[in-house]
Structure 1
Amino acid sequence: MILNARSSYSRLLLMVVLITVIVSGSSRAIVHAAVNVPDNIRVAFFINLGANKYQSLTSVATLQSTDGMNLIWRDPQFSLPAGNVAAGNSVRFAVDGYRALVLETADLNAAIAVLKKIQASSSAAFVTRLTKSGKPVYQVTEGTYSSAAGAKTALTKWTGSGVATGVQTLISARVAGPWAVETGPYSSAYEAEIAADQLGSAGLDSFVALKPREGALEYVLRVGQEQNESTLPALQEAVAAAGGLNVRIPAAGESYALIRHDMTLNGNANKPVDFYAIPAGSGAVLRADPAGAGGINLLERSKRTYRGSMEVSVLNQSLAVVNEVDYEQYLYSVVGTEIGAKWPLEAQKAQAVAARSYALSSGMGYNIAHVVDTTLSQAYFGIASENAMAIEGVNQTAGEVLTSQGKVINAVFSANAGGITADNATEIWEGDDSFLTAGAESPDDGPQKGLLDWYYVALSSGQAGYIRSDLLADSGQKHISGAKYLKATAEGIAVRSKPQVVASVEPIARIGSGTLVVELDKVPENTDYSWIEGPVTPEVLLASINKRAKPQITGPLRTLEVTKTGPSGRATEVKANGVTVDVGVSDNLRGALNGLKSTLFTIEETGRYSILNGQGDQVDSSGQIGSLKIIGGDGTASSVTDPNLYVMDGKGNLRAGTTAPAFNFLGKGYGHGLGMSQWGARGLAEQGYDYQYILKYYYKNVLIEKDA
């Protein structure tokens, strides 16, 4: 068919319009703007920011890589090669501080035996090999203390406990400190080791050390492990008399890294491991770069392996370990750790953008690091937590962040909002985060899908507990209260304290096939979406509350109730014994109430109920503990002594109570509930929504911008 020019033009125009509509309807609303996502991010594993800030402490850090590592010296002026660690070998780091020197012996097996005794109650026990009189000796030390007094207290403890009893020691137990004299420089590590052995022949503790000078690293010896500088002049003379080269007393604050040879219990104890001791206050940093693609294992962080470099330094007298890693590769692990490997790709992408935004908005929030590896920032568990879906979600959103008014937002998220997101201004941290969608319905019930309900039942013994619904059947009989009798359908059925199987918690009872129990309630299984905690005793709750409450609540704890809630139903005020529990912002109630999953909860006081007495007056049982009496059919009144009590409520339902106070918490959700709910993101993705919709559902008035 032949079309005239005008007809062809009209059809062409119509086709262009249709294509434009189709393309515009499916295109990503990504703005390319001047957002700068750095190449790398710094993640702190161990860092000390002060007692009232953040502390994650370790006395030693042990690194290993299947491909080996290259060590780099870094300080404010230089970045210099500092040596290599062979494939599969370990290297250890600590602060060059004060230690309790418990033993020096020529018997390695004896030293290892003492080490094991100390390790039973300390993670900072070491066996260090030196050479004296041409033979190896082994010093057993404990601790990396910031003061001589701290080391002295520890020394008294170890000597008093007799950990070295029966072992012949070459020196008296004493405090070993970081003060020393210096000899050198030497042309190589080998030459320095020979010089250390020579001085060891004079009975001197000599260690090779790295030291920067005029843009290069030198090998020197640090001789002595003195408590203070007062003994250094005499030590200087002794070292010079023993043939030391250019012996000097270094000024306090000079930068160095002492290299010890420590014996370990991992593998072959006869094989020494290089141990770098870094002084406080010098600004020195030792960085380990992986020699291949295998990553670096950090033994003290659950033996996890991480991409990128590890930097070790001293901050506030404590060892600091920071992972510097490619930003996107960091997110591979974060997304893989935070959500499931089988979750939809759009949920993975939403998590990637939220996590990237959250990390970028943090700035250098931890002094020498942007973030930490725990959920205080976001969970980061290394290479083992990566998976194909997480990597795909990160790669497909590379460089994308959420912004509001030109700034990257603090895109907080939680595991499960319990069906509705929180309002920060009134319910959580009392902040005005205008980009967080408050009160949004969230499809969070994913954890509940496919799980059976549980029956809450009363046993003939008077105990109450939970039994999974597939293990009980309706007996066809009724209790005198009108409640159903349920019949056990198998032998050895566990009756549990919560509607959930927890392998580490023993059942409160077991019942046999055909046993009758009384149905009290039917509830969902405990999950991140719906949960029951309790009954919790007053003693446990009061102790937990008073760790955080100011002022503390005067015990004993008789009543506990939610007295105010916010727009989403989350608790914003709780009173104990009629007194407001003041723990600061509302989200702190989770920790104060013995570690609840969220603040979206109600409290059931099992020992509190109202009773009509003989005169028809209503009596509150909370103030009458121990005085409850029941009149029997013969008119005789008897005290209730059994801890379990079953009553009919105003609606005729049989309820389980207790004669003494106890508390159940019935809740929804896991986490603070602000911003994106991870389970909600999964639910929306399963409904067919893309990651942009998901993000803009939980974060309002935001743009998705891409790294320029």
Structure 2
Amino acid sequence: MALKRNHIVFLPFVLLLFFACARRQTAVAPPSPVDDGPVVEESCVAEPVPDQTAADADASDVGEELIEAVDEALIEEVTDEEADEGTDEEIQVVEPKKIEPREAFVEPTLKIQILKEADSILVTSESEMYLNFDSKTMKVEPGRRIRFRLRSARVGVQMYPVGVATFRGSEYEKALQFAEKWKSDGYTVRLIKAGGPFVHADGSVMDTTVYWVALGSFKKKADAEAFRDKMNRWGHSAWIIDESVLNPKGNIEILDGTDTVYSYADSHVALTADQPIEVHNVPFGDGFWVSGNCENRRYISPLEIFIDKHGKLSAINLVTLEEYVKGVVPVEIRLNAPDEALKVQAIAARTEALAKLGIKHVFDPFDFCASQHCQEFGGLARRTVRTDAAVDATRGLVLMREGRLIDAVYSANCGGHTEHNENVWSSRPAASLRGVSELFSNPESFDSPLKDSQLASWLKCTPRAYCADPRAGSSKNFRWHVSFTAKQMNAAVNKYYKVGTVKDIKVLKRGVSGRALRVRIVGSRDIAVIYKELEIRRVLGKLKSTMFVLEIKKDSAGNPVRFNFLGGGWGHGVGMCQAGAEGMALQGFQHDAILKHYFTGAEIVKLY
């Protein structure tokens, strides 16, 4: 994008106008949220982007100046263009990734980000490797180590619109009307189109298209977070969308095992080999609780190395859907889980991938990451004859309800009762994601949210539940206890909310399973109200789940000295309980019965 002289001349005036509009927006009450039934919706929270100073420092670490500093005027020009879109007569529809309809459904090829934000990437293969870059092809002998090192880079430019509603593809007119209401109140608004249609072999159309109503386009993520929180206080289930508006740029060094430079590549290298390609020091377990672990992992060819939006190196593995599922199952569930539980995991993973294709990472050059943000993917790591057999036995099988793919989410242990999806994420109620009981007997769901005293009684006992079976994975997390000193809790909370000394913590609202949905923290300097499952867990010291009761021990002066949590389960608790699936399989249930237990009204359909 060229920066013209007149842009610079009028830039101060445009910025004043932009911020004046932004101030006007904060004073206008939003339209009321709509509820038009279940929908599959994006629930991911976008990753933070380093500021320019940090990016410059990272580039200097590899001994090179940035190729091109990101010009603040250029960033502001992009910002102004985004702001101007709110003045157009028609609502703009943005479609970052377009999925073309197929004449008949075939197994798709996926792009999986297996490594991110690296300064260098080391690879080997037992066969010859071919590196393709800048219209060149380089042949690498078997066993030779090749390192890709960041020589110089310019970070991409990110903007942060805030989503406030999701509509199905068939609800375009409703989405447009809803967006027009926001526009009439002075907000900058766009529709972001994600997902797409698939044509089944019998001619029926399976459409995962959604429209997000997105407000604003914030340059700083902190500003987007503040706006999102305001929308949530006004009754909306808002979330942040990470939008790339200017691609990164840079140069990659290609070195041998002795760090001798072979060649240079501009931003992208493709790797192919007849045998698997081993990538060294791949982080894994990059989730809420476990991080910092690395191991060498092998992947089926091909791979791609590129400069990502953070101005760092990333690696992508291109795999078919079935190969992807084979790489997911053994790292998402125990290797020695019963065969029927492995089949359950395979069908859920396949369904989740297809339901989120073109929706997750919608502004990124890949379909899914390899962490818990999407689904854990280990390539060839940990794959066994049994896990591969479970995937082969369920080839092409997915879960559908009323002609649509369901959102087949899962967590490690639900604690005895799963939760409604809308209580955990920014999504409308999904009929297939209703909270269900895990008990052997009297399995009826709770009719209303439990009171604290009732939940305490529930958590102090160990009822006969499928996910409490000691033979099942993660059963040890069925019940848990954790205690924090006042100093520890103050540090945990003030990392995210500067409330001062924590005086009180109270659950304001609970879900059908007893999980905390809204928590108020009273401090010596401020009061914070925390919404949504993951944020509550993070702020309160990385709890295993929000199914908890809290006892606060105080000294004689009434000051808290210890915070004692009694809880149940591990993870968000929506959809399939992995420990429960194992427990049901151990009780003799088949994979179809297990899946129908967790996903209300779902049917298993063979796509190919």
Alignment partner of 2:477: what SS? coil
- Tell me the residue number matched to 2:243: none
Deviation (angstroms), 1:544? 2.1
Give the match for residue 478 of structure 2.
529
Where does 1:186-585 land on structure 2 (aligned, <5 Å)? Answer: 261=255, 271-273=258-260, 277-280=264-267, 285-292=268-275, 294-301=276-283, 302-316=295-309, 317-364=311-358, 365-366=360-361, 367-429=364-426, 431-441=428-438, 446=467, 449=470, 527-534=476-483, 536-549=484-497, 552-553=498-499, 555-577=500-522, 581-585=528-532
Deviation at 1:548, TM superposition (A): 3.2
Superposed CA deviations along residues 426-448 of structure 1, whole A, max 9, x for unmatched, are 35545422221313336755566
1:36 aligns with 2:105: yes
**Partner Cα separation in structure 2 for residue 580 and residue 379 of structure 1:** 36
Describe the superposition over 1:524-559 as per-residue Cα deviations: whole angstroms up to 9, x where unpaired: x9922111111x02232223223334xx42x21232
Q: 1:449 is aligned with what amino acid? A: P
Match of 2:124 in 1: 64
Amino acid at match of 1:624: G
Structure 1 residues 661 and 311: alpha-carbon distance in aligned structure 2, compared to 1, 3 A threshold: same
The percentage of aligned residue pairs carrying the same residue is 27
| Cα separation, 2, equivalents of 1:445 and 1:596 | 22
AA aligned to 2:431 is S
CA distance in 1 between partners of 2:537 and 2:112 (Å): 27
Alignment of 1:16-95 (within 5 A): 36=105, 38-46=107-115, 56-73=116-133, 82-95=137-150
List per-residue Cα deviations over 1:294-352 (Å, max 9, x = no partner).
Answer: 44334344222222321012233332311112321221221111111221111111100
Return the index of the structure with the highest Cα Rg: 1
Cα root mean square deviation, aligned: 3.1
Q: Which runs of 5+ in 2 are unaligned?
A: 1-101, 157-246, 284-294, 441-464
Letter in 2 for 1:62: L
Q: 1:94 to 1:680 in 2, by over 3 A?
A: same
Compared with structure 1, are the counterparts of its residues 450 and 680 closer, same or farther at alpha carbon in structure 2 (3 Å cutoff)?
A: closer
1:467-518: CA deviations, max 9, x gaps? Answer: xxxxxxxxxxxxxxxxxxxxxxxxxxxxxxxxxxxxxxxxxxxxxxxxxxxx
2:133–2:269 Cα contact (<8 Å) kept: yes
Separation in structure 2 between the aligned mates of residue 527 and residue 324 of structure 1, nearest angstrom: 36
Report the Cα offset of residue 693 of structure 1: 1.1
| Structure 1 residue 277, shift from structure 2 partner | 4.0
Is contact 1:332–1:394 with CA below 8 Å preserved after alignment?
yes
1:97-246 map, 5 Å: 97=152
Q: AA paired with 2:538?
A: G
Q: Show the counterpart of 2:172.
A: none
Q: What is the SS of the residue equivalent to 2:489?
A: helix
Q: Deviations over 1:52-88 (max 9, x none)?
A: xxxx4111111111223222347xxxxx661222111
C-alpha displacement at 1:401, in angstroms? 1.1
Does the Cα contact within 8 Å between 2:414 and 2:467 map onto a contact in 1? Answer: no
CA change 1:91–1:661 in 2 (3 A) is same
CA contact (8 A) 1:69 1:86 kept: yes
User: What are the superposed Cα offsets for residues 260-305 of structure 1, whole Å, 9 maximum, x if unpaired?
Assistant: 546x5xxxxxx4455554335xxxx32111222x443343442222
Instruction: Please list every run of 5 or more consecutive structure 1 residues that lacks an aligned counterpart in the other structure.
Output: 1-32, 47-55, 75-79, 98-143, 148-252, 265-270, 452-524, 609-620, 626-659
Distance in 1 separating the partners of 2:297 and 2:501: 45
Query: Does the 8 Å CA contact 1:607/1:661 hold for their aligned counterparts?
Result: yes
Q: CA 1:427–1:396 in 2, change beyond 3 Å: closer, same or farther?
A: same
Report the residue type matching 1:351 in the other structure: Q
Match of 2:169 in 1: none
* 1:387 Cα deviation after fit: 1.6
Greater share of strand: 1
**1:132-178 deviations in whole A, cap 9, x for unaligned?**
xxxxxxxxxxxx6769xxxxxxxxxxxxxxxxxxxxxxxxxxxxxxx
Amino acid at match of 2:546: T
Amino acid of the structure 2 residue aligned with 1:354: A
Q: CA offset at residue 374 of structure 1? A: 0.6
Does the C-alpha gap of structure 1 residues 624 and 673 become closer, same or farther in structure 2, counting only changes over 3 Å?
closer
Q: TM-score, normalised by structure 1?
A: 0.49
Residues 593/333 of structure 1: CA separation in 2 closer, same or farther (3 Å cut): same
Whole-angstrom distance in 1 between the partners of 2:397 and 2:296:
32
Q: 1:448 to 1:548 in 2, by over 3 A?
A: farther
Figure out how many residues of one structure are paired with residues of the other and give that number.
374
